[in-house]
Amino acid sequence: MENEGAENRDRSRLSRKSIPVKDRLIFALDVPTVEEAKCLVETLGDSVMFYKLGLQMFMAGGYYEFMDWLRQREKKVFVDLKFFDVPETVKLAVLQLKNKGATFATVHGNDGILKAAADNKGDVKILAVTVLTSLDRGDLDDLGFQCDVEALVLSRARRALALGCDGVISSGLEAARLRDELGDRFLVVSPGIRPVENRGADDQKRTVDVAEAFLKGADYIVVGRPIRNAPDPKAKAEEIQRKIESLFQN
């Protein structure tokens, strides 16, 4: 089983932040319509308390209204729009989130972009994208990066934190080095979570399982397709929650 033996592995990087255990699972609500999204939220019930709303939901229309709908149900919201534009535009975009009830928002880009977001974040925590989990070494070669993935993630994370970001989006594969070199006073949110038997089955290339992500230092994990495509999404979410609880119960 995925979590078998986790209790016997190195727990020194396990997050000690005061985060409710159920909030550590963020569900990526990637569906084409608000109606489907609401149906999924109602199906999942109290098995999921934190939802990531990305570009697909944004393009479905009614993004803010749907955020309100989630907040009325005491759910947390992660605005994953990966703001990437000239700094002034990113600043204005982040300011639009004021009083909208978002917990996290993602920003992607250079120092000026990250600083513009961090300086205007208000009550939203800014997470800097390091390297997308759909990219591997070959993709970075194609993009002209002359360093390995881990080094690039570390470099981007170090800059983002120095500029005032609250944390980073990083594969669990790189989380351990981030913790070892940068400490634990920032957030690591890890997408690309896959059961061991499903790795390599889709466009996510740098993946870990639930236990690996947390044992390497993640504070939160983002799970989408493994829950959404399960025969019983609520049962799958509850299974993941039990795995998380087993790690943090001591």
Determine whether 17 is an active site residue.
no
- Token pair recorded at residue 28: 């990526």
Listing DSSP states for the chain in one string gives: -TTTTGGGS--TTS--S---GGGGEEEE---S-HHHHHHHHHHHGGG--EEEE-HHHHHHS-HHHHHHHHHHTT-EEEEEEEE-S-HHHHHHHHHTTTTS-EEEEEE-SSHHHHHHHHHT-TTSEEEEE-S-TT--HHHHHHHT--S-HHHHHHHHHHHHHHTT--EEE--HHHHHHHHHHH-SSSEEEE--B--GGGTTSSS--S-B-HHHHHHTT-SEEEE-HHHHTSSSHHHHHHHHHHHHHHHH--
Tokens for 98?
């004021």
132's CB contacts (< 8 A; 6+ apart) are none
Residue pair 124/94 in contact by the 8 Å Cβ criterion: yes
Task: Please pick, among 22, 52, 75, 82, the residue that the annotation labels catalytic.
Answer: 82
Give the bridge partners for 128, in sequence order: 107, 168
Q: Which residues are catalytic?
A: 82
